[in-house]
Amino acid sequence: MKSIDRPQVIAHRGASGLRPENTAVAVELAHQQGADWIECDVVLTKDGEVLVSHDVELDLLTDVVGRYPERARGDGRFYVIDFTLAEIRTLRSGERRNHATGLPAYAGRFAVPPEPQPLMTLIEWVELVGKLNAKTNRAVGLCVELKSPVYHERAGCDLVLKTAEILARFGYDNSEARCMVMSFEPPALKHLRQAMAWRGTLLQLIGASEWGESDFDYARLITPAGLAEIATYAQWIATHVPQVLTIESGLPPRSTGFVESAHSAGLKVGAYTFQHEGLPEGHALAALIDFAAGPLGLDAVISDFPADAVAVLQRRTQCI
């Protein structure tokens, strides 16, 4: 992969702050707004198709409850892996809802309810980015997150293999390709690099145990020994914004030291998710991105609002 001379903008699930996440309209807007990379998440359907979806369940983003009310599991959730692609084609995705309340997860993010959108397969997503690149003579990269590989493995499904086969079919399986494969689960990335001899770029995501993303010991992974281990199979690491920035009301943002430690281990560093919601009083998104891209030395800004990040970085470039 070519060297990066400025922080990159990764559109989180497309321009998800303005359009339904992981849909074609979110991809198109992120591309139009100048994102360097567009990120998506992938899971498997009942018939083994690779679907673009952040959740292994369908009910927080789609109208599955009204269309297939009898298909809930005992916990009341509707799982992608219980539906064929043909069935999923009948669903429409919209604004993310809070599981506990059923209300929009980000109150006020959409001025009006977004137009319902069909879900996409990974093949369709890759083809769309390719068409947009060809039309604009750009090389916007792909970031593909393997969502819950262990969950899929326990169900007898190989998400890693099926995703890798699709990316390889489109030529995204080498170090020069504009493609990063990422996961919260280290064994999936290690298997891809070592057992499957994947030559493309890998990114290790770091979460928190209370999120339920996985059972892995993230506290160990962010130690010097853990970062050195990650560097044996991945080129990038990305963690949540509070892991890299201390942000308090009334005080300027400051580094936690994480970016410096990861750079010392030879890793590029991204942080998620830069968004307008949830910021402490007195802090604005543009100012935080400016600090992250400048004094902090972040290599990638992962944002629901790629246009905001692009604007900040363009201003910084013009000032140099």
pLDDT at 140: 98
What lies within 8 Å, CB to CB, of 284 at 6+ separation is: none
pLDDT at 3: 38
pLDDT at 320: 56
* Beta pairing class for 245-246 and 37-44: unpaired
Alpha carbon 42 to chain centroid distance? Answer: 10
151, amino acid identity:
Y
Handedness of CA 22, 129, 122, 211 (dihedral sign): negative
- Residuewise pLDDT in 10s, the chain (320 residues): 433 467 999 999 999 999 999 999 999 999 999 999 999 999 999 999 999 999 999 999 999 999 999 999 999 999 999 999 999 999 999 999 999 999 999 988 998 889 999 999 999 999 999 999 999 999 999 999 999 999 999 999 999 999 999 999 999 999 999 999 999 999 999 999 999 999 999 999 999 877 877 778 999 999 999 999 999 999 999 999 999 999 999 899 999 999 999 999 999 999 999 999 999 889 999 999 999 999 999 999 999 999 999 999 988 777 65
d(CA 14, CA 135): 18
Name all domains of the chain by residue range, CATH numbers in brackets: 8-57+119-319 (3.20.20.190)
d(CA 283, CA 279): 6
DSSP the chain: ----SS-EEEETTTTTTTS-TTSHHHHHHHHHTT-SEEEEEEEE-TTS-EEE-S-SBSTTTBSHHHH-GGG--TTS--BGGGS-HHHHTT--B-S-B-TTT-SBSSTTSSSSPPPPB--EEHHHHHHHHHHHHHHHT---EEEEEE--HHHHHHTT--HHHHHHHHHHHTT--STTSSEEEEES-HHHHHIIIIIS---SEEEEE---GGGTS-S--HHHHTSHHHHHHHTTT-SEEEEEHHHHEE--TTS--EE-SHHHHHHHTT-EEEEEEE-STTPPTT--HHHHHHHHHTTT--SEEEES-HHHHHHHHHHHHHH-
pLDDT at 4: 44
53, amino acid identity:
S
In sequence order, the β-bridge partners of residue 2 are none
pTM of the model: 0.96
pLDDT at 213: 72
